[in-house]
Amino acid sequence: MLKQAIKQKIKSSNYLLIMVLMTFSTGILALDSDKEAEFSLEGDNFKNSPAIEGGLTQIKYWGNVSINQGTLKINSDDAIVFNDSDGVSKVLLTGKPVTMEQIVDVEFGKIDIVANEIDFRVAEDMLYMSGSVLIKSKIQGEMSGEKITMNLKTKEIKGEKSDNQRVKLIIKPKSK
């Protein structure tokens, strides 16, 4: 009887965890108005490298770098922007730390990300984050780990263990 109760409790805990993770991964796409907003990139230093591999150009900013586009706000120590014939294809951000915030939508609210490196593959709609990654959302809680990936099209979030550090999710109780 006790074994059966424990199995049922584990099943319901697993179900709850799956539901929470599915909820956490929904709505990561930015406000539609952000995509139409002006893209602004600033830094203390700048270097443009014309045509490198495969028709790409590379623009490097370093020192107090900031990127703004609508509700998207990023601060980093360094940023390398890769351009191809279709525009920006990739942005590599590094810092101690890189900070990123964005209002996802009215229901989800704002998401805050802190990491040592964010590799944003624009063409793939992918964010690859590494180095003490922390993602916070008022509604969804906190997720942390050494490596976390977000697919902005499917809204899937994946965390993977690095060395002996596991991926962690903290869900705060709702206050009444």
Query: Could you report the per-residue pLDDT of 123-156, keeping only the tens digit for each?
Result: 888 999 999 999 998 777 889 999 999 887 777 7
User: Which residues are within 8 A (CB) of 38 and not within 5 positions of it... i.e. 6 or more apart?
Assistant: 69
Token pair recorded at residue 135: 């993602």
The ranges assigned to domains in the chain are: 2-170
Q: How does DSSP assign 72-106, residue by residue?
A: EEEEEEEEEEEEETTEEEEEEEEEEEEEEEEEEET
pLDDT in tens, 78-122: 999 988 888 888 999 999 999 999 887 676 678 899 999 999 998
Token pair recorded at residue 98: 């890189």
For residues 43 and 66, the answer to whether their CB atoms sit within 8 Å is yes
What is the distance between the alpha carbons of residues 33 and 64, in angstroms, rounded to a whole number? 26
**Kind and range of the H or E element at 110?**
strand 109-121
**CATH value of 2-170 in 3.40.50.2300, 2.60.450.10, 2.40.50.100, 3.30.460.20:** 2.60.450.10
What is the mean pLDDT of the segment spanning 144-172? Answer: 83
pLDDT in tens, 8-67: 444 443 333 333 333 333 334 466 677 778 888 999 998 987 767 677 888 999 999 999
